[in-house]
């Protein structure tokens, strides 16, 4: 795929970049905390929720710099029209809050990338097909009409417990948060029956100038933490459908806990975005043992029960389409001086084609031995950020807390 993709090494995100969204105190804490000194900062560990599913490990801050730099760098390339599609599979950490880690997520690269896109684009659409609700991104933009968030997720007694059908945004952002709560066992056909009509309506009424797509692979069949039943083709169909709208697209990774299937999924989706059909039989390589005994690209969904009845799905879809029909005219943004890029597109270009004499060409991605492969992003060629509203933030947090008190069961069909 070398003739269809360019690969670049983005700059590492620094603390100043991260504080465009996160609090100064939180980012400073991530910079200084290590496994050796964490016992001296027990109060801060609790305050910033860095424990249990967000542990401290060696190189934590550098890890956040790598994946965040990739997402911001991808947004900069879209802003400068250097690409129409950018992929950063290392990104997509959607649970991180302004001053709190959550669900394996420390820095919310998605929010930072969207803020970068808003410097140039009036409206940005965020789509999340991870099995977990994209709560951190939704909360960040809950009161604005310049960003629409659409999350398709498992709802009920399931982390993070947010994303009710009735959570639609507040103030200027009312109806700009779209939540699609799903039950166990949803398959590709049922998912498609929801996804395409909802996204078609969103593209019609919101008309985004750019799209950020979080392609979490824990919604695949057989995921260790998931409970959906999507095939890799069914998962990729969502991404393929959104690419048909010819809107600048930033594609990010996310969850996925059966690692061999995550690799399968994102490999296939990279091929889809580049217009390349990949053979199902995997070529022999150093990691073939991980993909046995079939050694195939695609997986077979299980025979688990699909608890999402047609009646339930139709009720969810109709309610969401009704909400979207209430949106006013497409929101715009006043003319203003564009803030400078967080990272330099010119610096990235210097690293687009590294010297292969010191590395290896693996399927169109240039890798340099001795360097972290997570530094790399893939692009497909082409011929004033939203401010934080303190009152809106308080209202959004209040709304999230109220959601936890709601019944974990969605309203009956007669109530929808």
Count of C-beta atoms within a 10 Å radius of residue 22: 25
Average pLDDT of span 228-239: 98
User: Is residue 44 exposed (0-12), middle (13-18) or buried (19+ Cβ within 10 Å)?
Assistant: middle
Per residue in 34-69, pLDDT (tens digit) is: 999 999 999 999 999 998 899 999 999 999 999 999
Query: Strand 5-8 vs strand 85-88: parallel, antiparallel, or unpaired?
Result: unpaired
Query: pLDDT band at residue 380, thresholds of 50, 70 and 90?
Result: low
| Percentage of the chain modeled with pLDDT above 70 | 80
Q: For residue 155, give both structure tokens.
A: 């709802």
Query: Do the Cβ atoms of 329 and 300 come closer than 8 Å?
Result: no
Cα separations in angstroms, 245 against 113, 199, 211, 258: 20, 10, 10, 31
Q: What are phi and psi of 210, to 5 degrees?
A: -155, 155
Which residues belong to the active site? 95
Query: Do the Cβ atoms of 64 and 105 come closer than 8 Å?
Result: no
Q: What is the distance between the alpha carbons of residues 25 and 20, in angstroms, rounded to a whole number?
A: 13
Query: pLDDT band at residue 401, thresholds of 50, 70 and 90?
Result: low
Start-end of H helices in 36-187: 42-47, 60-79, 109-117, 135-140
Report the phi/psi class of residue 100: left, alpha or beta, with left for phi > 0 and alpha for psi in -120 to 50. beta
Show contacts of 26-30: CB within 8 Å, 24+ apart. Answer: 26/98, 26/99, 26/100, 27/107, 30/60, 30/61, 30/64, 30/106, 30/107
What pLDDT was estimated at residue 382? 38
Q: What is the distance between the alpha carbons of residues 50 and 25, in angstroms, rounded to a whole number?
A: 13
Q: What is the distance between the alpha carbons of residues 72 and 315, in angstroms, rounded to a whole number?
A: 37
pTM of the model: 0.84
What CATH number has the domain spanning 5-415? 3.40.800.20
Pick from 146, 319, 147, 130: nearest CA to 138: 147
Per residue in 308-351, pLDDT (tens digit) is: 999 999 999 999 999 999 998 776 666 666 778 877 766 665 44
Query: pLDDT band at residue 378, thresholds of 50, 70 and 90?
Result: low
**3-state secondary structure (DSSP) of residue 333:** coil
Domain ranges of the chain: 5-415
Per residue in 114-164, pLDDT (tens digit) is: 999 999 999 999 999 999 999 999 999 999 999 999 999 999 999 999 999
What pLDDT was estimated at residue 302? 97
First to last CA, the chain: 47
Q: What is the distance between the alpha carbons of residues 53 and 162, in angstroms, rounded to a whole number?
A: 18
Q: What is the distance between the alpha carbons of residues 220 and 298, in angstroms, rounded to a whole number?
A: 11
Mean residue pLDDT across the chain = 87
Average pLDDT of span 366-379: 42
Query: Do the Cβ atoms of 99 and 25 come closer than 8 Å?
Result: yes
What pLDDT was estimated at residue 70? 97
Q: What are phi and psi of 370, to 5 degrees?
A: 90, -5
Cα separations in angstroms, 79 against 126, 317, 346, 384: 16, 33, 13, 13
Query: Do the Cβ atoms of 379 and 83 come closer than 8 Å?
Result: yes
Q: Which residues pair with 367 in a beta bridge?
A: 360
More confidently predicted of 398 and 152: 152
Per residue in 75-115, pLDDT (tens digit) is: 999 999 999 999 999 999 999 999 999 999 999 999 999 99
Count of C-beta atoms within a 10 Å radius of residue 382: 12
Average pLDDT of span 362-384: 40
Q: For residue 301, give both structure tokens.
A: 């969904």
Q: Which residues pair with 249 in a beta bridge?
A: 85, 211
- Report whether the peptide linkage leading into residue 235 is cis, meaning its omega lies within 30 degrees of zero: no
């Amino acid at each position: 795929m070398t003739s269809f993709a360019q690969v670049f090494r983005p700059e590492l995100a620094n603390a100043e970049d991260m504080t465009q969204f996160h609090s100064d105190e939180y980012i400073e804490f991530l910079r200084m905390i290590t496994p050796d000194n964490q016992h001296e900062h027990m109060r801060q560990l609790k305050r910033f929720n860095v424990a249990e599913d967000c542990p401290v490990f060696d190189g934590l801050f550098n890890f956040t710099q790598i994946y965040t730099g990739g997402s911001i760098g991808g947004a900069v390339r879209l802003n400068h029209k250097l690409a129409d599609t950018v992929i950063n599979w290392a990104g997509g950490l959607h649970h991180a809050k302004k001053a709190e880690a959550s669900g394996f997520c420390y820095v919310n690269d998605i929010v930072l990338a969207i803020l970068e896109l808003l410097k140039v684009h009036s409206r940005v659409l965020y789509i999340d097909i991870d099995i977990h609700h994209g709560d951190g991104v939704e909360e960040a933009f809950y009161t604005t009409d310049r960003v629409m968030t659409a999350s398709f997720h498992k709802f009920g007694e399931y982390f993070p417990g947010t994303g009710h059908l009735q959570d639609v945004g507040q103030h200027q952002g009312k109806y700009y948060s779209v939540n699609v709560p799903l039950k166990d066992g949803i398959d590709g056909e049922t998912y498609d029956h929801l996804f395409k009509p909802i996204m078609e309506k969103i593209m019609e009424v919101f008309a985004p100038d750019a799209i950020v797509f979080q392609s979490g692979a824990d919604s695949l069949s057989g995921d260790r933490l998931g409970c959906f039943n999507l095939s890799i083709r069914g998962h990729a169909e969502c991404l393929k459908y959104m690419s048909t709208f010819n809107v600048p697209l930033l594609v990010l990774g996310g969850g996925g806990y059966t690692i061999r299937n995550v690799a399968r999924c994102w490999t296939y989706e990279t091929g889809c975005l580049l217009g390349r059909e990949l053979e199902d039989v995997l070529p022999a390589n150093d990691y073939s043992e991980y993909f046995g005994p079939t050694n195939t690209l695609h997986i077979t969904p299980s025979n688990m029960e699909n608890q999402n009845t047609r009646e339930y799905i139709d009720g969810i879809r109709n309610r969401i389409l009704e909400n979207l029909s209430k949106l006013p005219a497409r929101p715009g943004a006043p003319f203003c001086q564009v803030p400078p890029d967080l990272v330099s597109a010119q610096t990235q270009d210097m690293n687009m084609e590294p010297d292969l004499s010191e590395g290896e060409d693996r399927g169109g991605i240039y890798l340099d031995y001795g360097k972290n492969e997570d530094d790399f992003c893939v692009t497909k060629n082409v011929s004033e950020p939203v401010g934080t509203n303190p009152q809106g933030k308080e209202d959004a947090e209040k709304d999230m807390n109220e959601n936890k008190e709601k019944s974990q069961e969605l309203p009956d069909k007669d109530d929808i």
